[in-house]
Structure 1
Amino acid sequence: MKTVKTAIHFTDNYLISPTNPIEINLIGAGGTGSKVLTALMEMSHSLTELAHPGLQVRLWDDDIITEANLGRQRFAPSETGLYKSVALINRVNRFMGTNWKAETQKFERNTLGVLPENANATIYITCVDNVQVRFDIAEMLKAMSKRRMNRDEPKYWLDFGNSQQTGQVILSTIGEIKQPQSEKYETMASLPMVTDEFGELLKQSEQTDDTASCSLAEALEKQDLYINATLAQMGCSLLWSMFRYGMTENRGFFLNLKNFQTHPLKVA
């Protein structure tokens, strides 16, 4: 009887034993992004305690903090009127003594089609609420993968997305990641991008009303109070396991917070 091997993706070697902190571009500093940043702060400190260089994060967002952001997103009343990215990065740097960076602009090509400065990173994490932005970023990442560099070579894309009470986190490779020989596992060098695998589903689920909320009560009609925090913790746990254990048999999950159901997305 032939034994069916478990499909596994082995983490790229550079993430396990890098010479410098792992460069991460975190795109979006709202309900999910603000909480993902906190999780990355905890992850980076934990990695350094394990003799790893840790993380170097650059946060991209051009939004300004409003009263509607208070409570559901990780902002204080005193920060109203500041750029989300600046407020969050300043807080992390003061708290942990890091030198992470804030960008008060969108992660997008300019009018000449040129990628933004400081766009290179090893890991890209998107926490955006616009479907077209995801497709634009996917095209940018594919273009980056064609011109590989020794440092800050793009390797992974972790995408967070949600509606009011449901959401998903999908891990993708940017190009192929060389896998070791294994007799025990079936290794997978490539994990599909969310825009390739679930492109039509994303387009169908896109909300037509993308106007800014004027109050927390109005914002909660679009996204429930704990959906963002739950996705952030679970999604960053997936990233942590790749650093800690050097492999993963899951490349994401689907979450329904209303009935507390989670469905893992297996590597295949």
Structure 2
Amino acid sequence: MNTSEKIKVHFTDHYLINPTNPITVNLIGAGGTGSKVLTALMEMNHSLIELGHAGLSVRLWDDDRVSEANLGRQRFAECEVGLYKSVALINRANRWAGTHWKAETQKFQRDSLGNLPEHPDATIYITCTDTVQARFEVAKILNEVSGKRYYYYGRDKPKYWVDYGNSTKTGQVILSTIGDIYQPNSDKYHTVANLPFITDEFTGLLKKSEQEDNTPSCSLADALKKQDLYINPTLAQMGSSLLWSLFRNGMTEYRGFFLNLQDFRSQPIPVA
């Protein structure tokens, strides 16, 4: 079969399929999308363990505190107002699932001296951030962290980045590899080792969205003017399904999707 006629796929890094330790995940952002992605990761962790997998070890990053405007649209209760979002969510997850996941009450970014975050290393990075600037900062950190090869022979080697982004009724999820992922030889498929960063491939789209109003909402009503009630959970579920396919199927023909809840359309992004 001609290479051009083969279906393009990306095979999951072998360490994700059969790890010796839980797969480390840095979940960045604990708001409308991140709080729901955490719930999906809890479900995914339980399911993986039941299938004989080592499961996941999640570290949640967010420096924001729960406000009244967060109730209803995000995964927070009234009794949690004033608590750090990351702490409230991780404590609840650990109590419910018996996990030992960690919370960071800071942004995933360099400090004032230009130093990397204290715990930057993970195999999978998931960003659910509000700003374009935060995405570019994460991309720079991933490039720097992945360049340190002295201990990257297994656990915590950066391999994948899943980015969630949305406006009022639209959004997208993009899967990227952090560097090249070894691909097996295949007569049936055209294998693709590198999936580009969203910050490299969709720079124009990101800069355009940067012009939107990202000021904090003072109430749930204000928040709903900026983001539809169900855009975040829909993205969270569909994006988590993409991540799940890497574990369950060991391969994917798609590296993300665009979603429009206005007319209920979803456009997959094939591996290219």
Report the TM-score, using the length of structure 2 for normalisation.
Answer: 0.97
Amino acid at match of 1:86: V
Return the offset for 1:207: 3.9
Which secondary structure state, in structure 2, belongs to the residue aligned with residue 24 of structure 1? strand
Amino acid at match of 1:30: G
Do structure 1's residue 265 and structure 2's residue 266 form an aligned pair? Answer: no
Residue in 2 aligned with 1:4? 5
**Separation in 1 of the partners of 2:231 and 2:55?**
27
In the alignment, structure 1 segments of 5+ residues that lack a partner are none
Do structure 1's residue 25 and structure 2's residue 29 form an aligned pair? Answer: no
Residue in 2 aligned with 1:49? 50
**Separation in 2 of the partners of 1:193 and 1:124?**
12
Residue in 2 aligned with 1:222? 226
Do structure 1's residue 105 and structure 2's residue 106 form an aligned pair? Answer: yes
Residue in 2 aligned with 1:193? 197
Which secondary structure state, in structure 1, belongs to the residue aligned with residue 137 of structure 2? helix
Superposed CA deviations along residues 133-174 of structure 1, whole A, max 9, x for unmatched, are: 100110110111211322200000000000000000000000
Residue in 1 aligned with 2:184? 180
Residue in 2 aligned with 1:136? 137
Residue in 1 aligned with 2:157? 153
Q: How many residues align?
A: 268
Amino acid at match of 1:129: D
Residue in 1 aligned with 2:64? 63
**Separation in 1 of the partners of 2:216 and 2:113?**
29
**Separation in 2 of the partners of 1:230 and 1:178?**
31
Amino acid at match of 1:50: L
Do structure 1's residue 243 and structure 2's residue 244 form an aligned pair? Answer: no
Equivalent pair of 2:90/2:102 in contact (CA under 8 Å): yes
Residue in 2 aligned with 1:35? 36
Return the offset for 1:209: 2.4
Identify the range of structure 1 (101-110 vs 111-120) with the bigger mean alpha-carbon deviation. 111-120
Amino acid at match of 1:232: A
Amino acid at match of 2:243: L
Which secondary structure state, in structure 1, belongs to the residue aligned with residue 256 of structure 2? strand
**Separation in 1 of the partners of 2:258 and 2:213?**
23
Amino acid at match of 1:102: A
Report the TM-score, using the length of structure 1 for normalisation.
Answer: 0.98
Tell me the percent identity. 70
1:162 to 155, 162, 166: 166
Q: CA RMSD in A?
A: 1.0
**Separation in 2 of the partners of 1:171 and 1:217?**
32
Equivalent pair of 2:199/2:206 in contact (CA under 8 Å): yes
Return the offset for 1:208: 4.0
Return the offset for 1:200: 1.1
Which secondary structure state, in structure 2, belongs to the residue aligned with residue 221 of structure 1? helix
**Separation in 2 of the partners of 1:207 and 1:218?**
18
Residue in 1 aligned with 2:235? 231
Amino acid at match of 2:179: G
Residue in 1 aligned with 2:258? 254
Residue in 1 aligned with 2:213? 209
